[in-house]
Amino acid sequence: MVTMSFHLMNTSIDWALLQQQARAASEQAYAPYSHFPVGVAIQAGSGKIYTGCNVENASYGGTICAERNAIAAAIVAGEREFQALVVFTPQERLTPPCGMCRQVIAEFFTPESPIASCNHLAQIQQWSVGELLPSAFTPLYLAQSAKVETRKLFDATSATEATEATGPTESSN
Ligand SMILES: [Zn+2]
C-alpha cells in the first residue's frame, strides 16, 4: 500500500533522506513499556533535518513522543519554522502523530505543511497539518486575549502594590 497526496509533494523536501533519518531515530527509541519504537525526522525552514525518538518513563505520564522531541531539538537549535515531518514506525499500520503532537505541530507548521508516516516496508502515507488537525488552536487565537490578560495582570499588579503600600500602616495599628 502506498498512499501519497502528490499535490502536497514539495520538490525542495528530501523525502528519502527524511525517511532514512526517521528510521535511524527510531532505533534510538527508549520504549521499554510499549515496545513501540518511533522515530521522527523534520526538515526545518533552514533546510536542516532534526530527529527525535519516543522517550518513555516509568511514570508513563512522563513519556514524550518522537514528534515533540524532534521539534524541541530544532527549537533549541534556533529553528522556528518547519517544512515537513516524517514519522517512522516498524509496523504495517502507518502511524500518524497523536493528538498532543498534532497540537504542537500546529504551533510551528503551516496548515499546508506535509506530514508523512512510513514504515520498514517502504510504505508511506501523507497528510497536511490541516487534515490532521482541522480548526487548530494556534498562537493567532491567543494574540488578542494575551493583550487582555496582560492588561489584567498589570491591573492586578497595581492593586497588589496599592495593598502593599497600605499594608504596613494597617499592621502597625
Ligand atoms: Zn505524540
Quickly list DSSP for 52-64.
Answer: EE-B--TTSTT-B
* C-alpha neighbours within 13 Å on the C-beta side of residue 100: 8
Provide the pLDDT for residue 167.
Answer: 45
AA letter at 161:
E
**Assigned C-alpha cell, 172:** 502597625
Provide the pLDDT for residue 140.
Answer: 85
- Spacing, Cα 54 to ligand 1 middle (Å): 8
For the chain, 173 residues long, the average pLDDT of each consecutive 10-residue run is 44 92 98 98 97 98 98 97 97 97 97 98 97 94 64 52 47 44
Annotated binding site: 54-60, 65, 98, 101
- Spacing, Cα 156 to ligand 1 middle (Å): 37
What's the CA gap between 132 and 98, in Å, rounded?
A: 9
What's the CA gap between 59 and 81, in Å, rounded?
A: 32
CA 171 to chain centre: 51
- Spacing, Cα 108 to ligand 1 middle (Å): 15
For the beta sheet containing 49-53, the strands, ordered from the edge strand earlier in sequence to the opposite edge, are 49-53, 39-44, 82-88, 114-118, 124-128
Residues marked as catalytic: 67
Provide the pLDDT for residue 163.
Answer: 46
Helix (H, G, I), strand (E, B) or coil at 96: coil
Provide the pLDDT for residue 112.
Answer: 97
Provide the pLDDT for residue 41.
Answer: 98
Provide the pLDDT for residue 155.
Answer: 55
